[in-house]
Amino acid sequence: MGISELRQVGAPLATPGASESYAAQLVRSGAISASDMALVQLVQKHCDAPLERILLSEGLTDEDTLLKAHAARLTTRCVSRSDMAGLPTRDSGVSAGEMLRAGVLPVTDRDGTPAIVTHTPPVTTGDPDARMLMAPRKDIQAEISQRLHETLTEAAQARVPDVESCRSWGNHFWLRLGLTLGFLSLVCALTIAFPLAVFGLLAFWAALTLVVSFCLKLAAFIARLSRGGKTPPLRLGPVPGAPLPRVSIMVPLFRETEIAHALIARLQRLTYPKCLLDVILVLEEEDDLTRQTLAQIDLPPWMRAVVVPDGQPRTKPRAMNYALDFCEGDIIGIFDAEDAPTPDQITAVARRFQQAPPDVVCLQGILDYYNPRQNWLARCFTIEYATWFRMIMPGMALLGLAIPLGGTTLYFRRDALEKLGGWDAHNVTEDADLGFRLARHGYRTEMIATVTGEEANCHIWPWIRQRSRWLKGYMTTYLVHMRDPRLLYRQLGAWKFWGFQAHFVTALSQFVLAPVLWSFWLVLLGLPHPLDPVLGRDMLVTLCSLFLTVEILGMVINAAAVTGPDHRHLLPWVPTMHFYAPLGAIAAYKALYELVLKPFFWDKTAHGLSLRSGPARRSDNAVDFS
């Protein structure tokens, strides 16, 4: 609850005590009224936030006033960015990341005295005799990032240990290309020499992976139904003796001028106490247009931009690794540029982390689309997401399997995230990779009943580009984690290890070998099939019946996923999902090409398409947990 709400309910007031000299000084100087200060202190009892954050987030004063009050109380002075530039850095044993998070810069003052530039004294640095110099947080962080540019840039691209990263692949281009060309030559030669045997082998593998994939999907679906088919709503009540924690939300932006204003409006609907909310808009140095667009928007005090220095690879995970050190929160969340989270989402997440066991370090929300009526592709994409996030992923979690994370509506305990090294900057599906790294290190992920609306990619070529990036990342993630299968088996255990194999191998095989499976439609149409000489018509008809059964049961699962009130209009479109699948096959071949030639290339998803065209959309705040 904020100050304005407390004023409305007439909360009891208390005069600032004598021991609270800073608060008393602000009242005496006229910077804030005694009644407002009393309300601020009431908020502070329930929120783990310093006095300055509450004052700024509620708009009761400005940062310049607070800095001058600190300087007067400590008998020191405020310094500008240009003043800081003239003060040499002093080695205090504090890492670059710690300096950024705390907003402190150890320097030597102009008279040779050890000093610390800060925005919120007192500061614990192991140097109690250092003089405090006051400066705005954004100026301090900008100065730190400029002085330690090389250190921070290198750390952003190499936070994850080598053994768990794919970054070394960039050093073996010619070897990778040579092996690929050699493999393709061998396959072509075998196909020319033994066409029937090669096709039969591919058909066998496609059929086997289809059955395994469907069994996994069916098991997850049944597990989901065992819970009534719905995710129980979270308890949002306070935890006795546990004030709400600080939460940092990172929103990576790249060429997002179309939706910048809509994004800010959606984030401002969040009901989490603004004094505990730290929203960071992560911008790329080369993206002048987005930076200029945001410069024209009056951002609230709890929202700020962090510019990531240009470098390689130019990916979302590298940008998040860089911005992570700027975050102040104990919980780190991720939104995408087009996201529309439910207003109470962060409160639900914070309370769940307070209730959850320590090994639950990641909460994954439900992703949905707010433009499913735009066209056929948007409808199919929404059905696919509803099935994955409302049925399959929760079911896999209930089965005790490790799950690949979605790229947004993710929340982490900061200490665990930093212990794992954040994200692999070179993996283009950093979310799926991180989900399994969490599992390998003994951590758990929970699905939670909170929904974030996204924009469905509703144009065919942008959809293929996006899906090819996801599939390339899946291929990369599988190869990285299978570098040492025995180690992976020991870390995950037998159940999760085989679940990992079943998920990744079958998913990738089904996309790549989809044309082989499509050939069996020839049998149902009464046309000759390449395997007629080997299997005979009766066996082929039996196989086709099996495939058709799998297809029908898949439609049942899809239909069950969209029976909620916000998705029922999609039920007539479920049968058309069969015509949606070929797009994935095209994306898979594009992904294979890029895996060899451009493994770190981030094929940017176009956003804002639904803002420019299309029929009426679902409300951004619609919530359906079914």
Q: Give residue-wise pLDDT tens across range 500-524.
A: 999 999 999 999 999 999 998 888 8
CB 248, CB 327: distance < 8 Å: yes
Q: What integer pLDDT is reported at residue 3 of this predicted model?
A: 53
Q: Is the CA virtual torsion 207, 211, 212, 217 positive or negative?
A: positive
Residue 238: its pLDDT value, please?
Answer: 62
**DSSP output for 257-321:** TTTHHHHHHHHTT--S-GGGEEEEEEEETT-HHHHHHHHTS---TTEEEEEEPP-SS--HHHHHH
pLDDT tens readout for residues 119-145: 888 765 556 678 899 999 999 999 999
H or E stretch at 460: helix 460-481
Q: In this predicted structure, what is the pLDDT of residue 4? A: 52
pLDDT tens for 374-394 read: 999 999 999 999 999 999 999
> 272 — phi, psi (to 5°)?
-65, 145
CA 155 → CA 203, 269, 305, 310, distances in Å?
A: 46, 34, 20, 13
Q: Whole-model pTM? A: 0.88
| Cα R_g (the chain), whole angstroms | 27
For residues 417 and 363, the answer to whether their CB atoms sit within 8 Å is no
The conformation of residue 78, written as its DSSP 8-state character, comes to B
CATH no. for 74-147: 3.30.300
Q: Which residues of the chain have pLDDT under 70?
A: 1-21, 123-128, 228-241, 606-626
Cα–Cα distance for residue pair 577/376, rounded to 1 Å: 10
Distances (CA, A) of 410 to 63, 64, 136, 394, 515: 31, 34, 30, 15, 35
Strand partners, 410: 334, 364
Contacts of 18 (CB under 8 A, 6+ apart): 24
CATH 3.30.300 range(s) for the chain read 74-147
Chain-centre distance of CA 6, in angstroms?
34
Looking at residue 492, its pLDDT comes to 96
**Whole-number pLDDT of residue 557:** 96
Which pLDDT score, from 0 to 100, does residue 33 have?
Answer: 82
For residue 483, the 8-state DSSP code is S
Closest by Cα among 82, 85, 120 to 104: 120
Given this model, what pLDDT does residue 538 score? 86
pLDDT on residue 524 = 83
Q: Which two tokens stand for residue 122?
A: 């007192």
Distance separating the N- and C-terminal Cα atoms of the chain = 29
What confidence score (pLDDT) does residue 32 get?
Answer: 82
